[in-house]
Amino acid sequence: MKFADNPRQATEYLRRAIPLMVKGGIPPTPLNYALWYVYVSKAIPALNQQMDKTLEIYGTCPNRISEVLFRDFLIKDEIENAEVVQQALLSVMGDLESSASSTVHDTEAYNEVLQDSLAALKDKNDNQGLETIIQNLTVNTETISESTRQFQKKIDEAQAEISKLKKELDQSRQEATIDPLTGLYNRRVFDAEISQLASLPEPDVSLIMVDIDFFKKFNDTYGHQMGDKVLQYVARLIKEECSEPLLPVRFGGEEFSMLLPGIKAPDACKLAERVRKKVAAIRIKQKKSGETISSVTASFGVARLETDESPENLIARADAALYKAKEAGRNNVQIAN
Protein backbone atom coordinates (compact mmCIF):
# COMPACT_ATOMS: atom_id res chain seq x y z
CA MET A 1 0.00 0.00 0.00
CA LYS A 2 1.20 3.52 -0.82
CA PHE A 3 0.37 6.48 1.46
CA ALA A 4 -0.58 9.70 -0.34
CA ASP A 5 -1.78 11.77 2.63
CA ASN A 6 -0.59 15.33 2.99
CA PRO A 7 1.37 16.29 6.15
CA ARG A 8 -1.69 17.72 7.91
CA GLN A 9 -3.77 14.57 7.28
CA ALA A 10 -0.90 12.31 8.29
CA THR A 11 -0.40 14.21 11.55
CA GLU A 12 -4.10 14.01 12.35
CA TYR A 13 -4.26 10.26 11.69
CA LEU A 14 -1.21 9.68 13.87
CA ARG A 15 -2.69 11.84 16.64
CA ARG A 16 -5.82 9.68 16.61
CA ALA A 17 -4.01 6.35 16.27
CA ILE A 18 -1.63 6.70 19.23
CA PRO A 19 -4.30 6.94 21.98
CA LEU A 20 -6.03 3.86 20.58
CA MET A 21 -2.76 1.95 20.64
CA VAL A 22 -2.05 3.05 24.22
CA LYS A 23 -5.57 2.06 25.30
CA GLY A 24 -5.16 -1.41 23.81
CA GLY A 25 -1.62 -1.89 25.11
CA ILE A 26 -0.35 -2.15 21.54
CA PRO A 27 3.48 -2.18 21.28
CA PRO A 28 4.71 0.94 19.40
CA THR A 29 6.34 -0.94 16.53
CA PRO A 30 6.47 0.32 12.92
CA LEU A 31 4.12 -2.49 11.92
CA ASN A 32 1.53 -1.46 14.51
CA TYR A 33 1.88 2.26 13.72
CA ALA A 34 1.14 1.51 10.06
CA LEU A 35 -1.79 -0.75 10.90
CA TRP A 36 -3.48 1.71 13.24
CA TYR A 37 -2.71 4.65 10.95
CA VAL A 38 -4.67 2.94 8.18
CA TYR A 39 -7.39 1.94 10.65
CA VAL A 40 -8.12 5.53 11.75
CA SER A 41 -7.87 6.76 8.16
CA LYS A 42 -10.55 4.22 7.12
CA ALA A 43 -8.71 3.83 3.83
CA ILE A 44 -9.41 0.07 3.72
CA PRO A 45 -12.96 -0.75 4.91
CA ALA A 46 -12.30 -4.50 4.99
CA LEU A 47 -9.37 -3.93 7.36
CA ASN A 48 -11.57 -1.86 9.68
CA GLN A 49 -14.19 -4.62 9.73
CA GLN A 50 -11.61 -7.23 10.71
CA MET A 51 -10.05 -5.00 13.37
CA ASP A 52 -13.44 -4.02 14.82
CA LYS A 53 -14.34 -7.70 15.14
CA THR A 54 -10.98 -8.44 16.78
CA LEU A 55 -11.34 -5.50 19.20
CA GLU A 56 -14.82 -6.68 20.15
CA ILE A 57 -13.48 -10.12 21.07
CA TYR A 58 -10.12 -9.27 22.62
CA GLY A 59 -10.43 -5.63 23.63
CA THR A 60 -7.14 -5.21 21.78
CA CYS A 61 -5.41 -6.55 18.67
CA PRO A 62 -3.07 -9.47 19.48
CA ASN A 63 0.33 -9.56 17.81
CA ARG A 64 -0.54 -12.67 15.80
CA ILE A 65 -3.63 -11.07 14.29
CA SER A 66 -1.84 -7.74 13.76
CA GLU A 67 0.79 -9.53 11.69
CA VAL A 68 -1.87 -11.31 9.63
CA LEU A 69 -3.78 -8.06 8.99
CA PHE A 70 -0.59 -6.19 8.12
CA ARG A 71 0.39 -8.87 5.64
CA ASP A 72 -3.06 -9.29 4.10
CA PHE A 73 -4.07 -5.64 3.77
CA LEU A 74 -0.94 -3.48 3.77
CA ILE A 75 1.86 -5.42 2.10
CA LYS A 76 0.15 -8.26 0.25
CA ASP A 77 0.80 -6.69 -3.14
CA GLU A 78 4.41 -5.98 -2.25
CA ILE A 79 4.96 -9.57 -1.13
CA GLU A 80 3.36 -10.91 -4.29
CA ASN A 81 5.44 -8.54 -6.41
CA ALA A 82 8.60 -9.59 -4.61
CA GLU A 83 7.80 -13.23 -5.26
CA VAL A 84 7.11 -12.45 -8.92
CA VAL A 85 10.43 -10.62 -9.17
CA GLN A 86 12.20 -13.50 -7.52
CA GLN A 87 10.69 -15.99 -9.94
CA ALA A 88 11.53 -13.70 -12.84
CA LEU A 89 15.09 -13.47 -11.59
CA LEU A 90 15.36 -17.24 -11.52
CA SER A 91 13.98 -17.36 -15.06
CA VAL A 92 16.46 -14.74 -16.24
CA MET A 93 19.31 -16.62 -14.64
CA GLY A 94 18.20 -19.74 -16.43
CA ASP A 95 18.06 -17.88 -19.73
CA LEU A 96 21.52 -16.43 -19.13
CA GLU A 97 22.86 -19.87 -18.39
CA SER A 98 21.43 -21.15 -21.65
CA SER A 99 22.79 -18.13 -23.49
CA ALA A 100 26.22 -18.56 -21.98
CA SER A 101 26.22 -22.23 -22.93
CA SER A 102 25.37 -21.32 -26.51
CA THR A 103 28.06 -18.66 -26.53
CA VAL A 104 30.66 -21.18 -25.40
CA HIS A 105 29.59 -23.56 -28.14
CA ASP A 106 29.59 -20.87 -30.82
CA THR A 107 32.92 -19.45 -29.72
CA GLU A 108 34.59 -22.85 -29.77
CA ALA A 109 33.20 -23.48 -33.23
CA TYR A 110 34.50 -20.12 -34.37
CA ASN A 111 37.91 -20.91 -32.90
CA GLU A 112 37.98 -24.18 -34.82
CA VAL A 113 37.20 -22.37 -38.07
CA LEU A 114 39.97 -19.88 -37.44
CA GLN A 115 42.45 -22.66 -36.71
CA ASP A 116 41.56 -24.40 -39.95
CA SER A 117 41.85 -21.13 -41.86
CA LEU A 118 45.23 -20.45 -40.32
CA ALA A 119 46.51 -23.88 -41.36
CA ALA A 120 45.28 -23.32 -44.91
CA LEU A 121 47.02 -19.97 -45.10
CA LYS A 122 50.26 -21.52 -43.87
CA ASP A 123 50.13 -24.19 -46.54
CA LYS A 124 49.77 -21.55 -49.23
CA ASN A 125 52.52 -19.29 -47.79
CA ASP A 126 50.21 -16.30 -47.84
CA ASN A 127 51.06 -12.84 -46.57
CA GLN A 128 52.82 -12.97 -43.19
CA GLY A 129 50.94 -9.96 -41.88
CA LEU A 130 47.60 -11.60 -42.53
CA GLU A 131 48.81 -14.74 -40.75
CA THR A 132 49.78 -12.70 -37.70
CA ILE A 133 46.37 -11.08 -37.59
CA ILE A 134 44.65 -14.43 -37.74
CA GLN A 135 46.92 -15.78 -35.01
CA ASN A 136 45.97 -12.89 -32.79
CA LEU A 137 42.31 -13.48 -33.50
CA THR A 138 42.75 -17.11 -32.52
CA VAL A 139 44.39 -16.21 -29.22
CA ASN A 140 41.68 -13.70 -28.43
CA THR A 141 38.96 -16.17 -29.31
CA GLU A 142 40.46 -18.74 -26.93
CA THR A 143 40.50 -16.13 -24.20
CA ILE A 144 36.87 -15.23 -24.83
CA SER A 145 35.94 -18.90 -24.78
CA GLU A 146 37.54 -19.41 -21.36
CA SER A 147 35.99 -16.23 -20.02
CA THR A 148 32.54 -17.30 -21.16
CA ARG A 149 32.95 -20.72 -19.55
CA GLN A 150 33.81 -19.02 -16.27
CA PHE A 151 30.78 -16.75 -16.67
CA GLN A 152 28.55 -19.78 -17.10
CA LYS A 153 30.03 -21.33 -13.96
CA LYS A 154 29.30 -18.20 -11.95
CA ILE A 155 25.73 -18.10 -13.20
CA ASP A 156 25.24 -21.74 -12.21
CA GLU A 157 26.49 -20.97 -8.72
CA ALA A 158 24.30 -17.86 -8.42
CA GLN A 159 21.19 -19.72 -9.53
CA ALA A 160 21.85 -22.51 -7.03
CA GLU A 161 22.37 -19.97 -4.26
CA ILE A 162 19.14 -18.12 -5.07
CA SER A 163 17.17 -21.38 -4.99
CA LYS A 164 18.78 -22.32 -1.69
CA LEU A 165 18.01 -18.94 -0.11
CA LYS A 166 14.39 -19.09 -1.27
CA LYS A 167 13.94 -22.52 0.33
CA GLU A 168 15.58 -21.36 3.56
CA LEU A 169 13.39 -18.25 3.67
CA ASP A 170 10.21 -20.25 3.15
CA GLN A 171 11.30 -22.76 5.78
CA SER A 172 12.18 -20.12 8.38
CA ARG A 173 8.78 -18.46 7.92
CA GLN A 174 7.03 -21.75 8.54
CA GLU A 175 9.17 -22.93 11.46
CA ALA A 176 8.48 -19.79 13.48
CA THR A 177 4.75 -20.45 13.89
CA ILE A 178 3.65 -23.63 12.11
CA ASP A 179 3.93 -27.30 13.02
CA PRO A 180 5.64 -28.89 9.99
CA LEU A 181 3.70 -32.17 10.00
CA THR A 182 0.14 -30.92 10.43
CA GLY A 183 0.26 -27.32 9.23
CA LEU A 184 -1.45 -26.12 12.43
CA TYR A 185 -0.06 -23.42 14.72
CA ASN A 186 2.62 -24.64 17.10
CA ARG A 187 2.83 -24.50 20.89
CA ARG A 188 4.85 -21.28 20.77
CA VAL A 189 1.94 -19.41 19.16
CA PHE A 190 -0.54 -21.04 21.55
CA ASP A 191 1.39 -19.95 24.65
CA ALA A 192 1.64 -16.35 23.45
CA GLU A 193 -2.04 -16.19 22.49
CA ILE A 194 -3.48 -17.72 25.64
CA SER A 195 -1.31 -15.48 27.83
CA GLN A 196 -2.59 -12.41 26.05
CA LEU A 197 -6.21 -13.53 26.31
CA ALA A 198 -5.86 -14.35 30.01
CA SER A 199 -4.49 -10.86 30.69
CA LEU A 200 -7.68 -9.15 29.46
CA PRO A 201 -9.92 -7.57 32.16
CA GLU A 202 -12.93 -9.62 31.04
CA PRO A 203 -11.61 -12.60 29.12
CA ASP A 204 -14.05 -14.33 26.80
CA VAL A 205 -12.43 -17.52 25.59
CA SER A 206 -12.94 -21.27 25.64
CA LEU A 207 -10.38 -24.02 25.19
CA ILE A 208 -10.81 -27.47 23.69
CA MET A 209 -8.18 -30.13 24.28
CA VAL A 210 -8.21 -33.08 21.88
CA ASP A 211 -6.45 -36.43 22.12
CA ILE A 212 -6.56 -39.24 19.55
CA ASP A 213 -7.71 -42.44 21.23
CA PHE A 214 -5.32 -45.42 21.42
CA PHE A 215 -2.82 -43.62 19.19
CA LYS A 216 0.21 -45.47 20.57
CA LYS A 217 -1.46 -48.79 19.83
CA PHE A 218 -2.29 -47.56 16.32
CA ASN A 219 1.35 -46.59 15.74
CA ASP A 220 2.59 -49.94 17.03
CA THR A 221 0.14 -51.81 14.79
CA TYR A 222 0.36 -49.85 11.54
CA GLY A 223 3.64 -47.94 11.80
CA HIS A 224 4.61 -44.31 12.19
CA GLN A 225 3.91 -43.38 8.58
CA MET A 226 0.27 -44.34 8.97
CA GLY A 227 0.27 -42.61 12.34
CA ASP A 228 1.49 -39.40 10.72
CA LYS A 229 -1.27 -39.69 8.13
CA VAL A 230 -3.87 -39.90 10.91
CA LEU A 231 -2.41 -36.83 12.60
CA GLN A 232 -2.66 -34.93 9.32
CA TYR A 233 -6.26 -36.04 8.76
CA VAL A 234 -7.34 -34.99 12.25
CA ALA A 235 -5.46 -31.68 11.94
CA ARG A 236 -7.24 -30.91 8.68
CA LEU A 237 -10.65 -31.54 10.26
CA ILE A 238 -9.80 -29.31 13.22
CA LYS A 239 -8.57 -26.56 10.92
CA GLU A 240 -11.82 -26.66 8.93
CA GLU A 241 -13.72 -25.63 12.07
CA CYS A 242 -11.31 -22.89 13.15
CA SER A 243 -11.51 -19.79 10.98
CA GLU A 244 -9.91 -16.58 12.31
CA PRO A 245 -9.66 -15.61 15.11
CA LEU A 246 -10.03 -19.20 16.36
CA LEU A 247 -6.66 -20.88 16.84
CA PRO A 248 -6.07 -24.55 15.87
CA VAL A 249 -2.90 -25.91 17.47
CA ARG A 250 -0.87 -29.08 17.54
CA PHE A 251 -0.24 -29.19 21.26
CA GLY A 252 2.20 -32.08 21.16
CA GLY A 253 2.31 -35.71 20.02
CA GLU A 254 -1.24 -36.86 19.31
CA GLU A 255 -2.76 -34.00 21.30
CA PHE A 256 -4.34 -30.92 19.74
CA SER A 257 -6.04 -27.82 21.08
CA MET A 258 -8.49 -25.23 19.84
CA LEU A 259 -8.31 -21.80 21.46
CA LEU A 260 -11.65 -20.08 20.90
CA PRO A 261 -11.87 -16.35 21.69
CA GLY A 262 -15.42 -15.05 21.74
CA ILE A 263 -16.90 -18.57 21.99
CA LYS A 264 -19.02 -19.58 25.00
CA ALA A 265 -18.69 -23.05 26.51
CA PRO A 266 -21.93 -24.47 25.01
CA ASP A 267 -20.89 -23.40 21.51
CA ALA A 268 -17.40 -24.78 22.14
CA CYS A 269 -18.98 -28.13 23.01
CA LYS A 270 -20.97 -28.06 19.77
CA LEU A 271 -17.80 -27.33 17.81
CA ALA A 272 -15.99 -30.17 19.56
CA GLU A 273 -18.87 -32.52 18.77
CA ARG A 274 -18.72 -31.62 15.07
CA VAL A 275 -15.02 -32.41 14.97
CA ARG A 276 -15.55 -35.62 16.95
CA LYS A 277 -18.08 -36.91 14.42
CA LYS A 278 -15.80 -36.06 11.49
CA VAL A 279 -12.85 -37.82 13.12
CA ALA A 280 -14.96 -40.92 13.83
CA ALA A 281 -15.86 -41.05 10.13
CA ILE A 282 -12.22 -41.30 9.03
CA ARG A 283 -11.38 -44.46 7.10
CA ILE A 284 -7.84 -45.13 5.91
CA LYS A 285 -6.71 -47.75 3.41
CA GLN A 286 -3.29 -49.34 3.41
CA LYS A 287 -1.69 -49.01 -0.01
CA LYS A 288 -0.03 -52.42 -0.04
CA SER A 289 -2.86 -54.59 1.26
CA GLY A 290 -5.84 -52.41 0.41
CA GLU A 291 -7.13 -53.11 3.91
CA THR A 292 -9.42 -50.49 5.45
CA ILE A 293 -8.06 -49.59 8.85
CA SER A 294 -10.45 -49.53 11.76
CA SER A 295 -12.01 -46.18 12.55
CA VAL A 296 -10.07 -43.48 14.35
CA THR A 297 -11.66 -41.68 17.30
CA ALA A 298 -10.72 -38.81 19.59
CA SER A 299 -11.72 -37.54 23.03
CA PHE A 300 -12.42 -33.89 23.84
CA GLY A 301 -12.22 -31.74 26.96
CA VAL A 302 -13.79 -28.26 27.04
CA ALA A 303 -13.15 -25.46 29.54
CA ARG A 304 -14.00 -21.76 29.67
CA LEU A 305 -11.50 -19.22 30.99
CA GLU A 306 -12.66 -17.70 34.27
CA THR A 307 -11.86 -14.16 35.44
CA ASP A 308 -8.35 -13.97 36.96
CA GLU A 309 -7.66 -17.58 35.97
CA SER A 310 -4.13 -18.38 34.80
CA PRO A 311 -3.49 -20.01 31.43
CA GLU A 312 -1.94 -22.98 33.21
CA ASN A 313 -5.08 -23.55 35.25
CA LEU A 314 -7.33 -23.30 32.20
CA ILE A 315 -5.22 -25.91 30.41
CA ALA A 316 -5.29 -28.14 33.50
CA ARG A 317 -9.10 -27.96 33.69
CA ALA A 318 -9.50 -28.71 29.99
CA ASP A 319 -7.09 -31.63 30.40
CA ALA A 320 -9.13 -32.89 33.35
CA ALA A 321 -12.26 -32.80 31.20
CA LEU A 322 -10.36 -34.67 28.49
CA TYR A 323 -9.33 -37.32 31.03
CA LYS A 324 -13.00 -37.59 32.06
CA ALA A 325 -13.89 -38.23 28.41
CA LYS A 326 -11.32 -41.03 28.31
CA GLU A 327 -12.79 -42.57 31.46
CA ALA A 328 -16.29 -42.34 29.99
CA GLY A 329 -15.29 -44.67 27.16
CA ARG A 330 -13.47 -42.29 24.81
CA ASN A 331 -14.88 -40.80 21.59
CA ASN A 332 -16.95 -38.22 23.48
CA VAL A 333 -16.93 -34.59 24.64
CA GLN A 334 -16.79 -33.57 28.31
CA ILE A 335 -16.92 -30.08 29.83
CA ALA A 336 -14.87 -28.96 32.82
CA ASN A 337 -16.52 -28.06 36.13
Cα–Cα distance measured from residue 98 to residue 94, given in angstroms and rounded to the nearest whole number: 6
Question: Cα 269 to chain center, whole Å?
Answer: 29
Contact of 51 with 254, CB cutoff 8 Å = no
Count of Cβ atoms closer than 10 Å to residue 148 Cβ: 20
Cα angle at 255 between 65 and 236, to 5 degrees? Answer: 60
Pair type for strands 298-304 and 333-335: parallel
Going along the chain, which residue ranges are E strands? 205-212, 247-252, 255-261, 284-285, 292-293, 298-304, 333-335
Sequential DSSP letters for 173-193: HHHHHB-TTT-SB-HHHHHHH
Q: Note the residue count of the chain.
A: 337
Cβ count near 278 (within 10 Å): 17
Longest dimension (CA), the chain: 109
Query: In degrees, to the nearest 5, what angle opens at C-alpha 325 toward C-alphas 322 and 331?
Result: 110
Residues designated as active site:
254
Nearest to 261 by CA among 181, 326, 193, 182: 193
Secondary structure letter of residue 281 according to DSSP: T
The three-state secondary structure class of 261 is strand
**CA 195 – CA 92 distance, rounded (Å):** 48
